[in-house]
């Protein structure tokens, strides 16, 4: 059997190695159009920033080492330009010599990945515009920053690459501005959780121009202007386009293979295309979203690796299945860790699910043990069934651990009630006896069983301030004086029982505290005394972060960007 693989990196290289482990006699030929067969794609921004100092550390396998270990014929700087399905050959161009030749196959595996999105805008071809996808891209940016010593950069896009570059270029002393059309960074996160990321990047001097559409680029003396719709242009020494990626599916399309959403390559759960002898994996393929069951494109290294292994199993006569992707990912944002799995609340509702969420702000480990820090967690669930739909965790420590537990629970199809029963490791330096994951489960179960009702940030503007409802802040007087929500009167939790007579049982009571715990306790007291009580989801700490971010974005929109540090 001869297997030809188009593309290396995560999907293609993984498939090649798995094929060899399963079939020592197979002839395996891999073509990669870049100069690198297997490299640490996620580490590229950290080489630009100097965190990874040695360029060689980016390369996981060279063509020579891969050939020695796995007996794979590796051809880098070779681009596959066409597929002849009837003849079962691919046309290959040697990029070094220009020679073109046909390569036969018995089975073909496509792992072309995705390419940086480059919209057809004026000035898109300027020399000071870069993209970051390959090692070659990284080396070009690194060389430019080292040789030209630019002072400023505009990053068009606030996703994974944009934020990682922002941190690394700030570390090199550059003035950094992120501009993008969506009104918040990191689209897998809900806007309220992204507010915490906005605060962090602003605190490190990154300017944000959110909600602005880039309409083109203009060359200036030694720099670039980023032209915005309805706002003044942004000036910088260079620009990096990080507005997303597009499935590189032209080979499949030209060969008449079925395509899916966003022009991706359609495959079944065995990673097989509409041609049974052609498989496809990685960022170019359409997969099933694990939570919704709907078609999706998930451009992450973890799914690509799994798909490569599954495709190899099936090429060798196995019956492995890919059950879908849920988008679990984690990102370092300066001193924060931001992690996500499954659907955001907004995405769940867009998918037609009856979604709700709980917000909590637990410590990453026991509060009495030194060095603890607060995390913010948002866990999304389906109202009727209690089924977990997704989660977002942001904090200085412990976020990665909790998201992995929640991702596992989601994969298992668990409900919130199952979270309460998880037997998780505890010691004061690492966790609390009731882990934050357990707490999220308790909170969801309290909602579902009617032990508490909650109101959300979006409900606040509609609450009457005419005395027809009671608005209470259950924090201490000192906390209240430091800042409080408009219209909320201070009645500390510890004084509540003694002052119940001051409240009108005929009026609904809406309670807020710092994190949501004391207001929950207040609601349990009030409910058992005949009051209709609602607990504010997230607490004042969350309220202050989100509302401050909204004010800053509104102020910045008028002039096109934030001021650093605001």
513 is catalytic: no
Three-state DSSP state, 439: helix
CA distances from 44 to 41, 56, 96, 140 (A): 6, 12, 24, 11
398: nearest Cα among 364, 439, 435: 364
Q: Quote the tokens at residue 445.
A: 């179960």
Q: Dihedrals φ, ψ of 269, to 5°?
A: -75, -5
Distance in angstroms (rounded) separating the CA atoms of residues 441 and 463: 28
Active-site pick, 42, 316, 533, 559:
42
Distance in angstroms (rounded) separating the CA atoms of residues 182 and 184: 6
Three-state DSSP state, 424: coil
Residues of the chain by 3-state class (helix, strand, coil), percent to 5: 35, 30, 40
**Sheet (strand 231-236) strand order:** 214-220, 223-228, 231-236
290: number of Cβ within 10 Å = 22
Q: What is the DSSP string of 223-261?
A: EEEEEETTEEEEEESEEEE-S-EEE--HHHHHTT--B-G
Q: Quote the tokens at residue 49.
A: 């920033």
Contact 160, 329 (CB under 8 A): yes
Three-state DSSP state, 196: helix
Q: Which residues are catalytic?
A: 42
């Amino acid at each position: 059997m001869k297997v030809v693989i188009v593309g290396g990196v995560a999907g293609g290289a993984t498939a090649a190695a798995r094929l060899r482990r399963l079939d020592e006699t197979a002839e395996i030929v891999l073509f990669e159009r870049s100069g690198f067969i297997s490299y640490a794609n996620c580490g590229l921004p950290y080489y630009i920033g100097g965190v990874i100092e040695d360029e060689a550390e980016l390369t996981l396998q060279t063509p020579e080492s891969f050939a020695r270990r796995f007996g794979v014929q590796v051809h880098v700087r070779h681009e596959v330009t066409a597929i002849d399905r009837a003849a079962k050959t691919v046309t290959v161009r040697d990029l070094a010599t220009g020679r073109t030749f046909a390569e036969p196959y018995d089975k073909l595996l496509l792992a072309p990945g995705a390419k940086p999105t480059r919209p057809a805008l004026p000035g898109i071809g300027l020399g000071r515009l870069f993209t970051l996808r390959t090692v070659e891209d990284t080396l070009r940016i690194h060389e430019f920053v080292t040789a030209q010593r630019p002072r400023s950069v505009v990053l068009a896009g606030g996703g994974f690459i944009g934020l990682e570059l922002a941190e690394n270029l700030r570390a090199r002393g550059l003035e950094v501005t992120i501009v993008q059309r969506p009104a918040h960074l990191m689209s897998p996160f809900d806007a309220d959780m992204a507010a915490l990321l906005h605060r962090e990047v602003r605190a490190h001097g990154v300017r944000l121009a959110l909600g602005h559409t880039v309409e083109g680029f203009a060359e200036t003396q030694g720099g670039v202007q980023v032209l915005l719709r309805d706002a003044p242009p942004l000036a910088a020494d260079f620009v990096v386009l990080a507005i997303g990626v597009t499935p590189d599916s032209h080979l499949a399309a030209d060969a008449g293979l079925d395509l899916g959403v966003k022009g991706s390559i359609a495959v079944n759960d065995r990673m097989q295309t509409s041609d049974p002898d052609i498989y496809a994996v990685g960022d170019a393929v359409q997969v099933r979203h694990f939570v919704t069951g709907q078609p999706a494109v998930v451009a992450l290294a973890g799914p690509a690796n799994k798909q490569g292994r599954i495709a190899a199993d099936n090429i060798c006569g196995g019956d492995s299945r890919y059950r879908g992707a849920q988008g679990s990912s984690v990102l370092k944002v300066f001193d924060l860790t931001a992690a996500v799995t499954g659907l955001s609340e907004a995405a769940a509702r867009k998918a037609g699910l009856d979604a709700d969420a709980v917000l909590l702000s637990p410590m990453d480990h026991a509060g009495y043990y030194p060095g603890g820090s607060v995390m913010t967690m948002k866990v999304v669930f389906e109202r009727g069934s209690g089924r977990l739909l997704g989660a977002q965790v942001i904090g200085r420590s412990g976020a990665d651990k909790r998201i992995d537990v929640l991702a596992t629970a989601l994969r298992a199809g668990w409900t919130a009630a199952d979270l309460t029963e998880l037997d998780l490791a505890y010691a004061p330096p690492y966790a609390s006896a009731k882990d934050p994951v357990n707490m999220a489960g308790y909170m969801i179960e309290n909602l579902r069983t009617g032990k508490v009702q909650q109101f959300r940030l979006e409900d606040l503007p509609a609450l009457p301030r005419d005395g027809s409802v009671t608005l209470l802040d259950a924090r201490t007087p000192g906390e209240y004086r430091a800042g409080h929500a408009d219209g909320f009167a201070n009645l500390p939790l510890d004084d509540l029982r003694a002052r119940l007579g001051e409240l009108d049982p005929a009026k609904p009571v809406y309670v807020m505290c710092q994190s949501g715990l004391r207001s929950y306790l207040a609601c349990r007291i009030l409910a058992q005394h005949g009051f209709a009580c609602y607990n504010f989801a997230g607490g004042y700490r969350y309220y202050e972060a989100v509302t401050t971010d909204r004010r800053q974005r509104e102020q910045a929109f008028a002039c096109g960007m934030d001021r650093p540090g605001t």
